[in-house]
Chain A
Amino acid sequence: MTYDIVIVGAGIAGLTAAIYGKRAGKSVLVLEGQSYGGQIVTTPKIENYPATLGISGFDFANKIYDQAKTFGAEIKYEKVVSIIDGKIKTVTTEKNNYQARTIILATGSKNRLLGLPHEQNFIGKGVSYCASCDGAFYRNQTVAVVGGGNTALQDTLDLADLAQKVYLIHRHDRPTGEDVLLERIKKKTNVTMIANAQVTALCGEQKLTGIQIQQNQTAKQIAVNGLFVAIGRVPENLNFAQVVKLDQRGYIVAGEDCVTSTPGIFAAGDCRTKDIRQLVTAAGDGAVAANHAVQYLSAQ
């Protein structure tokens, strides 16, 4: 069978594209290597998606998944490893090959690692990339958050309510996150902000016991039980580098129209070049990409 639209990734962008594709009467296959929902699943409470106050990321993901299934989208859990372009494109997973008239790449992104020695060894043993997931394990302990964006600031706020002490380590004079979050942090008496600093080493044997930081020209060691890394996300598009143009950071080059360098292949959500990566913009991309895929199909 040749699908009208094969969507790579079952996060919000991918599932929204599936909904729009099915409602346009097209055959749609979604291929997902992990689990549906994507990044939003780890968010305990969504407050900024229009018309949804206080819903958990898990429940939100379930609603979109159910919606996509209700319209008849086919979803298979197979990791896509390559794509071959052509009038009919071939999407190869670890298990199968699928034929597609159009493809929507909605692969999202993954947590950026610090890139420090032994970082992987400390995961689950003091290093975490999800404060909402793991913060509770550090109740009444000392933790650090590294990062300066909204995620790092929100993590700091959440951890301040659990931990005895929180250090917020960020690279610039001032965190880059929203003022409203920064103002909330300044009111917390158990948070110490360390500006112009980077984490340079992780300390500990069986588990994390401290971190080394470099602040301006000075090296320091801080005793912490946990380190929460919130330094942004990176795309995972190398498997598609032969078929669509990527920018120097690895994001798929595509504008607001979600059109890539290759006819019939579209990119939606966090995986493409864009300024604002939010749940609502991912959903918007899904709709745009699906509509343009449908238009492309009509023109063939």
Chain B
Amino acid sequence: MIKITNEAEFEQIITTANGLVVVDFNADWCGPCRMLATVLDQLATENPQIKILSVNVDQQSSLAERFHVQSIPCVVFMQNGQEIHRNVGFAPKAVFTEMIQELLA
């Protein structure tokens, strides 16, 4: 997973990425977010063709606002710089694997 530290970095990745970009909005104090991070780390390793970004909503509040994030964990799937799907809340690895496969198809 790529930890986003500033908005410019985020912009550069989503506009130049060739394929699916998965953006995980999370926070350190959020238990389900920490659970999901483990799942997304595994998915990042198993799917090297996609980029998985971690956005801490406390540190990158403007990004959270831009994507209207009001509940975390919130995973936004993007392609060509546009949001194509999102999932709010924790879901097991199998669910995300299926989501990714459907979006890649």
Which residues of B are found within 8 Å of A57, using beta-carbon distances?
31
Q: Which of A4-56 contact B (CB under 8 A)?
A: 33-35, 37, 41-44, 56
Given A41-B31, A57-B31, A136 contacting B92 (CB threshold 8 A): no
Which residues of A are found within 8 Å of B29, using beta-carbon distances?
44, 56, 132
Given A34-B90, A34-B92, A42 contacting B72 (CB threshold 8 A): no
Which stretch of A120-128, A189-197, A273-281 is in the interface?
A120-128
What 0/1 readout, one digit per residue, does chain B (26-41) give for beta carbons within 8 Å of chain A?
Answer: 0101111011000100
> How far apart sit A25 and B98, CA to CA, in the bound complex (Å)?
38
Which residues of B are found within 8 Å of A56, using beta-carbon distances?
29, 31
Whether B30 pairs with A124 at a CB distance below 8 angstroms is: no
Which residues of B are found within 8 Å of A35, using beta-carbon distances?
32, 35, 39, 90, 92
B71 interface residue per 8 A CB criterion: yes
B7 interface residue per 8 A CB criterion: no
Whether B58 pairs with A58 at a CB distance below 8 angstroms is: no
Least distance between B55 CB and chain A CB atoms (Å):
14
Does more than half of chain B's interface fall in helix, strand or loop, or is it mixed? loop
Given A34-B92, A77-B92, A136-B27, A124 contacting B74 (CB threshold 8 A): yes
* Residue count of chain B within 8 Å CB distance of chain A: 24
Whether A133 pairs with B30 at a CB distance below 8 angstroms is: yes
Whether B35 pairs with A137 at a CB distance below 8 angstroms is: no
B69 interface residue per 8 A CB criterion: yes
B interface residue numbers (CB < 8 A to A): 27, 29-32, 34-35, 39, 57-58, 64, 68-72, 74, 88-94
23 residue pairs bridging A and B, Cβ less than 8 Å apart: A33-B92, A34-B90, A35-B32, A35-B90, A37-B35, A41-B32, A41-B35, A42-B32, A44-B31, A56-B29, A56-B31, A57-B31, A61-B31, A123-B88, A124-B71, A126-B70, A128-B71, A133-B32, A134-B72, A136-B58, A137-B69, A137-B70, A138-B70
